[in-house]
Structure 1
Amino acid sequence: MSRPQLARKDKQAAADAIWLEAECASQMSCRSVGTDTTTFRSCSIWSISSVVTIESTSPGPLVRSFSIPLYQESVVLLEKYLRDITYIHHVVLSGPLRTMVDNIYNDIEHKAPVSPGQVALLLSILSSAMYTWTRKDSENAPFATPSKMNATSSLWVKATLDLLDHCRRQSLQSIEAIQAMIIISFVIANLEGITARFRDLLSTAITAARELSLHKVDHQPEIEGREETHADSVDAELKRRVWWYLVATDWMASQFPGPHRGTYSINPLHMVVLKPRNVDDESFMYGIPIVDRPMEQPTEISYSLQRIKLAEICREVIDSSSLTTFNDGNMESGWLLGVDQRIVTFIGQLPQFFRLDGDALDSLNAKYPNIAPGIMIQRYIINSLVHSQRCRLHLPYLARGLVEPMYAPSREACLEAARCVIQAERMLASEDIPFVLTRLKFSGILQCVGIAITALFLDMCLSQEPVPRQARRAEVVDACGILRDATKDSPVAIKLLESFQRVVRKHDMSVSEVISESLCADNSSSSLTDIIANEQDNIPALPHLDEIWQSSQTDANIQTFDWDALFLELDCPMLSS
């Protein structure tokens, strides 16, 4: 027997041994824990008061019946999602997604088995589209007003979670269920912030992805005589997009306050997955060879690739410091400036179309007519994300920068980043794209603005020179105006505005006028007292901002201030974007 033949034989023997080991480890048997069954039906969206009904068939398992909107209604919401939202977390392929929806309704009509994971993906998309529905959407779909659609979204969020829970208990792992977890976690982050529910969804999605071997997409054993088909290539690329979205979210979550701060779950040494390819969805549709585009050329996946790069910086930060050192907020200035340089380099290497001084919308439309609105959305999100991350990094050292020269660069970097966050939001507000109408419903944007206001507000309090203090006062007035504009759509904005006013009105009326000025800038605005009247019981106290003020008055205890506690009040859901 020749050496190549022996090598192939040894390789096959090793593969057989691995397979037998897996069989020995399997606990599957003829008996299993009984679980509920599911059925699906479609009816008018406005006739559905409860998406899930439970029927008891004694003896036998419970039957959970899920209602979904009529096909025409779902298509309207699906197209809304693909038009305005998918750019934020592009973990689907538009063509196959439309085909999946068609197949769901065809199977329901013909009483054929329906994949719960696929329906969960559809429900998550419906929830996201309803939450972000605007008056402009109602112009093309008069069956739904914005207020009615927005109010209904919570019903479908719960239904999505119920169906995903069924999939989990049934061990019905599917790529669609993971996509559904990603999309619905984004909606939940906007409704609640980065809560235990969000972290649980992320953890569950990572576990489910490993069950489907998404962490080793590019380490598949070679199959003798088999060539990769176009369908295989498309499937692998979709898995890369999903896996890397989870990876980036996991690594970025390590930077934010809470029990998981300073930790991450996915070790880069424990995965073999290439980065997603820089191609548009349509490149997968025609059966032709897939060719990567240059990074300087925008695609539907460009934002995801930049998000991955930023996440890698977040992971490197954690790897270069201990858990206790990172969480103590007492890093050496040299380490801070080293991390800052990585972030600045990332900003400098952003493609031209993602820069704040990049082409205007008209120019982008002329060059890239199919994806220009998405590029604009992604431009402002990536800039808000990276600049708020830079601001957050330096914020605990802003006050020390006034009394300790070694931390002066941190103060400058913090304020520069804060101003960039406000600039990005103001520029986005002036764009003529549908996303502008709903942007303030994304609490990630508001939380980034909140971090920026905190930095500008603290610097204003610490400023002793009358002229610069007035300039800083104007900055805070302008920034608070963003929150004022958002109070109509977001309870997060109400909470943030009230928190800032509560602190300043206790200590100095001249400073409290900053908030009042921003509220009075719009004559139609109600007073803050009126705005928060219905929310007061739900707004927690912020004693940590009181501590900021006391530190600014005495220049004492600056080094011992509990900045992590303040950050817990300003957690940033933008990491789910």
Structure 2
Amino acid sequence: MSCQLCRARKLRCNRQFPCSNCTARGVECQAASVQQPAGRRPGVDKTPPTTPQVCNDELLKRLESLEALLTAQNQDPETAHPMPELRKDTNSQNSPPIVLCMLSDALVLERHCMSSKAGDSDTLNSIGFYTCPTRLITRPYSFILQSNSPPSVVAPAGPIKCIWLPEREDTRRIVDKYLNDISFIHHVIHAPTVRRLVDDIHDAIGLGHQPPMGPVALLLAIFANATGLWTARDLSRNLFYCVPEAHSQASMWQKAGLVVLDHLQQDSHVSLEATQAMVILFYSVVNLEGVSAMFRNLLSRAITMARELGLHCIDSPRRLLGIATPRYRVFEAEIGRRVWWYLCSTDWILAGLSGTLGNICMINPSQMAVEKPRNIDDDDLVEGEEIVGKPMDQPTCMSFCLQRIRLAEIFRASLEKTQFAALSLEAVDSQQVEELDIQMTRFWDDTPAILRLNHDLKPVDGSSDKIGIQRYLLHLFVHGQRCKIHLPYLARGALYTSNRAACVESARFIIRMEQQLEKEEADFSESRLRLSIVLHHIYLAFVVLLFDLCLDSDRPTNINKSPEAAVAWDILQGAKAQLPQAEVLIDPLHQVMSRHNILYGRAKTHGH
């Protein structure tokens, strides 16, 4: 028998408790009362009485308690954040169904009032797209007149802004570079889907149609990352004559991507592809500019768009009254989890980096209901098929991202205990630093063997080159953050000897790992300094080793007195030829070293 709501609104009820219609509207699902036929006396009514409402309430409470217990068992006690319990309004439960329907409709209309509106339709086609060989593209965009445009150009009459895209085969080669060598660092996409987008976009342009702007922005972000990390090995792809030529295109693709994203923002566009584009593009921005205002702006915009898409409540077990979250297919939901959790981990890590131990997070874990992405490869994620995660010790394209999430949760837990703006040395609680150090040390206990190094810098478990790079980046980040949290105690006396020892130990580990990398991973070693995460942590390790040398030596002294410091200095000097950001970092070092009478020169080799 249909429930009261479905009978009142003439909806198709699935006759389950609670039914799907009541669940979507957040309304208490009530069984329809059985009316007695006219003229029938109550004494002869053989119909069994309807179940009292109190039984439904008790059953619902039991189900919710079991759900909460199951959720708690499946989550790490330190990182579990149960959904806040919704208060039940007994008055609304006893209200007639028609009243509940009216309330539901009112809240839906109120949400519609607050939702984003479509922009000016006149701007929809204000950007046109051409294709040409990659090497001929030298500007992010240009202006042309429609009357002089080839037939394949999609644009309105009059002067329009045009963005040139590589030809189909060139696009495939650039995308292949990104998917094979870069994507695992921030795997928020699905490789087979991205490859299909390449053909869809070029097919649309070839037919004279406007290609979808979200996927175009995603491709431009991929171009910026791929060309920015082009290596000598990639010259075999026959797109560029030399590596500097490829690097020179990175900022151009970045600007073109920003143009498209700004256009979409003006039109209040919201899509998963546009969110992915912002994630990938802010990674390009941080590599070229560091943690700049543009990087923070893109991160904030990506988080906002993700919320508009409902990515923060993909796995919400219930719907608020009148506020039904978007329903994603299983395939889409898993990609959404990847995007949302990458944004979470970036937000929490950035908050930890911004101050010694504390700053502001934009994402509150108590205000989201999203399961962790599964440990699967893209080939295992197929539309219409059940997703089965692999064991964590089995390497996949998600291995690094999942460990990054674990590390971000450690930072987030620490930030919750920190007073606002604890930036001065006096405000930092040494006990909290010790607790955080213990957490970061224990981090390796639950890390899969394929991503761990022993004391001799040898992998605990043999693996492919790609996993080797993920292992390197993970160790670099953990030891870099260990340096950072102990840095305020480097020169604070014998009471903090253990802090200084931990700080210097991690700094030396980073430099020895760099030396090992240059011997074993020649291809990645060539371009690694163009990654902001690598340059930042080598710089941090050098700062620690430099001041450790100052504390132990009479001045003047030579940088070569510390072998690891000499190697780090040599690496930083070499980085200036690869990345303009390195010059900005190194200039203040010259002044500090001169002030403390540290003599410097190039170290003899990296390998000794």
| SS at structure 2 position matched to 1:41 | strand
| SS at structure 2 position matched to 1:159 | helix
Q: Give the aligned partner of residue 259 of structure 2.
A: 162
Structure 2 counterparts to residues 183-202 of structure 1, below 5 A = 183-202=280-299
Is 1:128 aligned with 2:217?
A: no
Is 1:376 aligned with 2:471?
A: no
Counterpart Cα distance in 2 of 1:41 and 1:62: 15
Q: Give the aligned partner of residue 47 of structure 2.
A: none
RMSD between superposed Cα atoms in Å: 3.2
Displacement of 1:196 in angstroms is 0.7
Contact conserved, 2:175 with 2:223, CA < 8 A, in 1?
yes
Q: Give the aligned partner of residue 176 of structure 1.
A: 273
Q: Give the aligned partner of residue 552 of structure 1.
A: none
Contact conserved, 2:270 with 2:308, CA < 8 A, in 1?
yes
| SS at structure 2 position matched to 1:180 | helix
Match of 2:389 among 292, 302, 312: 292
Q: Give the aligned partner of residue 353 of structure 2.
A: 256
Contact conserved, 2:375 with 2:396, CA < 8 A, in 1?
yes
Contact conserved, 2:357 with 2:415, CA < 8 A, in 1?
no
Contact conserved, 1:278 with 1:299, CA < 8 A, in 2?
yes
| SS at structure 1 position matched to 2:139 | coil
Cα distance, 1:373–1:30 mapped onto 2, change above 3 Å = closer
Cα distance, 1:162–1:142 mapped onto 2, change above 3 Å = closer
| SS at structure 1 position matched to 2:183 | coil
Q: Give the aligned partner of residue 205 of structure 2.
A: 108
Q: Give the aligned partner of residue 238 of structure 1.
A: 335
| SS at structure 1 position matched to 2:163 | strand
Residue type matched to 1:489 in 2? Q
Structure 2 unaligned regions, length at least 5: 4-14, 28-100, 148-155, 320-327
| SS at structure 2 position matched to 1:430 | helix
Higher mean displacement: 111-120 or 326-335: 326-335
Displacement of 1:424 in angstroms is 2.4
Contact conserved, 2:173 with 2:237, CA < 8 A, in 1?
no
Displacement of 1:449 in angstroms is 0.7
Is 1:475 aligned with 2:564?
A: yes
Is 1:386 aligned with 2:478?
A: yes
Q: Give the aligned partner of residue 574 of structure 1.
A: none
| SS at structure 2 position matched to 1:254 | helix
Counterpart Cα distance in 2 of 1:214 and 1:129: 27
Displacement of 1:161 in angstroms is 0.5
Contact conserved, 2:330 with 2:383, CA < 8 A, in 1?
no
Structure 2 counterparts to residues 480-519 of structure 1, below 5 A = 480-508=569-597, 511-512=598-599, 515-518=600-603
Q: Count how many residue pairs are aligned between Structure 1 and Structure 2.
A: 500
Q: Give the aligned partner of residue 558 of structure 1.
A: none
Displacement of 1:313 in angstroms is 0.8
| SS at structure 1 position matched to 2:185 | coil
Contact conserved, 1:130 with 1:152, CA < 8 A, in 2?
yes
Is 1:207 aligned with 2:304?
A: yes
Contact conserved, 2:479 with 2:509, CA < 8 A, in 1?
yes
Displacement of 1:503 in angstroms is 2.1
Q: Give the aligned partner of residue 268 of structure 1.
A: 365
Q: Give the aligned partner of residue 350 of structure 1.
A: 447
1:3-35 Cα offsets, whole Å, 9 max, x none, are: 877853754664664454232343489995455
Q: TM-score normalized by structure 2?
A: 0.75
Displacement of 1:373 in angstroms is 2.5
Q: Give the aligned partner of residue 279 of structure 1.
A: 376
Counterpart Cα distance in 2 of 1:29 and 1:345: 44
Q: Give the aligned partner of residue 162 of structure 2.
A: 65
Match of 1:396 among 468, 485, 488: 488
1:89-135 Cα offsets, whole Å, 9 max, x none, are: 11111111101111111111112331101001001111111111112
Indicate the percent of aligned positions where both proteins have the same amino acid.
34
Counterpart Cα distance in 2 of 1:448 and 1:25: 45
Q: Give the aligned partner of residue 32 of structure 2.
A: none
Counterpart Cα distance in 2 of 1:306 and 1:76: 29
Contact conserved, 1:173 with 1:208, CA < 8 A, in 2?
yes
Structure 1 unaligned regions, length at least 5: 223-230, 366-371, 523-577
| SS at structure 2 position matched to 1:279 | coil
Larger radius of gyration: 2
Contact conserved, 2:278 with 2:298, CA < 8 A, in 1?
yes
1:406-458 Cα offsets, whole Å, 9 max, x none, are: x2221111111111221222222222353222111113211101111111111
Residue type matched to 2:266 in 1? R
Structure 2 counterparts to residues 547-558 of structure 1, below 5 A = none
Residue type matched to 1:308 in 2? I
Contact conserved, 1:313 with 1:342, CA < 8 A, in 2?
yes
Q: Give the aligned partner of residue 430 of structure 2.
A: 333
Contact conserved, 1:123 with 1:156, CA < 8 A, in 2?
yes
Counterpart Cα distance in 1 of 2:234 and 2:17: 65
Counterpart Cα distance in 1 of 2:459 and 2:406: 25
Q: Give the aligned partner of residue 24 of structure 1.
A: 110
Residue type matched to 1:306 in 2? Q
| SS at structure 2 position matched to 1:399 | coil
Contact conserved, 1:300 with 1:374, CA < 8 A, in 2?
no
Displacement of 1:82 in angstroms is 1.0
| SS at structure 2 position matched to 1:292 | coil
Residue type matched to 1:45 in 2? T
Residue type matched to 1:293 in 2? K
Cα distance, 1:301–1:18 mapped onto 2, change above 3 Å = farther
Structure 2 counterparts to residues 305-320 of structure 1, below 5 A = 305-320=402-417
Q: TM-score normalized by structure 1?
A: 0.79
Cα distance, 1:62–1:397 mapped onto 2, change above 3 Å = farther
Q: Give the aligned partner of residue 185 of structure 2.
A: 88
Is 1:438 aligned with 2:527?
A: yes
